[in-house]
Structure 1
Amino acid sequence: MNTTEFNQQLLDFLAESPTPFHAVKAMSSRLEVKGFTRLLESEKWSLEAGKRYYFCRNDSSIIAFIYGAESLVEDGIRMVGAHTDSPCLKVKPQPEVTQQGYYQLGVETYGGVLLNPWFDRDLSLAGRVTYRTVTGKVTSSLLDFKRPIAVIPSLAIHLDREANQQRSINAQTDLPPVLMQVEGTDKPDFRGLLAEALTAQGVQDVESVLDYELSFYDTQKPALVGFKEEFIASARLDNLLSCFIGLQSILEADGKQSVLLVCNDHEEVGSRSACGAQGPMLDDFLTRLFTDPESRLRCIAQSMMISADNAHGIHPNYSSRHDGNHGPVLNQGPVIKSNANQSYATNSETSSVFRHWCEQSDVPVQSFVVRTDMACGSTIGPITASEVGVRTLDVGVPTFAMHSIRELAGVADAHALYRVLVTFAHSPASELDTPR
């Protein structure tokens, strides 16, 4: 797949995926087209070599697996990990607020949101809604309003003359989006509005909405931008971009080697959940894959995980925020992320073999280390390494404006990392042959 085709499919995937629930649905449909069979955790599994499988947990995390022809014990598994969630504004359980004749919804911040860019955007709402049917069954459906239904208006500079010098945001009082105007004390029932929206979407058996997990999102479509269209601009590049790269790489695998993709929810808030990287999802899968503990341990000793999560590109206006020798540039290749204090799981062996695969793929590679006087973020890499015991590497595509409502990446980098992951998926065990 060439760069142009890859990026167009990436833009389509980003537009389809306003929430982790929608991202998992989009990935599931692409996997099924390529012959992956869905597994249900409540059923007995009988996995066979040569077959392709996937399963979901909480509708927001997914594992896809190709059971290769080579021996799991002798050849291991090539693993790629990413996360489906992004910082955003989530609707509170009892959100209705009426002020000055305007109907608003209370929100809470999810993850480390960069708040300023959320003002004056055309916002929509999407997520999962759980409801009782007319027959008394409790079930869930995904919902996406798609059209702009809300906005968070800025306070005019005339009323805040210091806004450009020192405006701060109170997340409780400044962020509730405006949805509509209302008369007097009239306050529409939000759950009733959701029931109407589900019905309009084609769900015919809704009696009453019981609860929901809904997030606001920017309706501006993903796009190629720049004078020469060198950049991809979109919401949720962190980290749906890596999910898509991992997905495309496993779809290209030839089935000789065993290959696994895991995309976990809740990374942005610490990964501590049943479907997060610190939860048992991957471990549960490996338990069902192996009938005895020793075979599993021997397989893990021959395996490797590439944790893919975006890296900070060096910003031309803020270059002093980077270490002078470690400033990744957009469109100059994927980034190996290292940290002496294990915020990233990279070590000299895993970084070296990744450099080897980059050379084989004719892809340039860059390095990122945070300034010594600044705190370092983390990924699912160290968590997965500590939970499973697999050797792990942290890499990512360089981006600007991470955790903003709209982020920026280079058009060449996602495709470059995809090519490296395809090489990784086809690599023989001998390239990972280090004593353990």
Structure 2
Amino acid sequence: MRFMASYDMMETIRNTNQWLGASATAMASYPAFSMFPNPALEWMGAWGAVTERSFSRMVVKPDWDLPTIVGPNGTDRVVNTKVELEGDFGDLVYFDVQGSAKKPRKVLLVAPMSGHYATLLRSTVISLLPDCDLYITDWHNARDIPVSAGKFDIEDYTMRLVDYMRHLGPDTHVIAVCQPAPLTLAATAYLAEEDPEAQPRSLTLIGGPIDPSASPTDVTDFGHSVTMGQLEQSMIQQVGFKYKGVGRKVYPGLLQLTSFISMNTDTHRDAFMGQIQRVASGEAHEHDKHNKFYDEYLAVMDMTAEFYLSTVERIFKDNEIGDNRFVVGGKKVDIGKITTVAVKTVEGSKDDISAPGQCVAALDLCTGLPDSKKASHLEDGAGHYGIFAGKSWRENIRPLVLEFIDANNGTEAKKTNAPAAKPVAKKKAANTNTAA
């Protein structure tokens, strides 16, 4: 019960801060106080507004809030999300663009299960929708999953990806972002041996820890600096009575958020102080840059304890994927069995989470794949977030990924809203072993 009590204590602290923010805003809004200018009250109201918004976002799953897609005739087409396959721990979601014909590129975007919701990839989704029939893995918050649903570790995760690939069929192109990259590679290798006809046509791995030992970071060093017993005692708690998953052992989202913020405390402090000042002076608005970023960043989800612990132990400590020793259901998965699926890796030169070298290691593991089916790209100056969102993704990486998909699509895809050929050719020097 002590871990359940600590879980409820964190939620109590969050709830209290949300209430304090709302109370401060209400207090500063009394009409009587408006009779005389009072900078202190204005600051109190601004602090309250920013605080209430921030702490309320921590327990709310963000909406996809996708803009309309402009069709060939200039009409706006609404994008709806549709559950393609439903599951206790996650759904396969399809982005249905109303009135749009099927596109020649079918893409499965594998979102991370690392503390944030799949909506973290919203900008990635928006950039791909005009040119792809797009599906995404929408993982659920473990606090809302009853204990009766059972466990969910990295082997279950891998087999769930296998199910998704089988369902979508062999004309699928898979893009895995960050944490799921090694497990997506393992799922593809599993299919290569067990069900070759269900393999995707291509696999793009973006900033994933395929071989964490290739270039250590603070993340990999942390995994080696603690024992699994210490990690379980310090990080694992039981969901409290407020949620459907009461009693389930999890790595709490609020605890993860504390770790995220502690890595860049000064940056976050300055960002919130600046936002309070903007609110107080009337310069802030609902959809400003601060709110757009932190509404997503602060929305965290719990991971099942077994998924978190098995990830640390088997991916980072024991390096089972990097050493090609990964086992699913008692069966060794041999990455060398991949012989037909084109594989591309994308890394950022300033990625301090999955440093350059960790992801491109996947190509060496694909010993059965000819060089003509391998490709890699190192984006100069890009950090971890930049290689799947922002300017680096939009202008440089996305065109290369679509080009890679087209080169391995059986037939050349008709490019709707496709990038101009000239910018792509300009970046080709950084794209080695280009698959064609």
- Normalising by the residue count of structure 2, what TM-score does the alignment of the two structures yield? 0.30
Q: Which of structures 1 and 2 has the larger relative contact order (alpha carbons within 8 angstroms, sep 6+)?
A: 1
Q: Which has the higher strand share?
A: 1
Q: Which has the higher helix share?
A: 2
- Normalising by the residue count of structure 1, what TM-score does the alignment of the two structures yield? 0.30
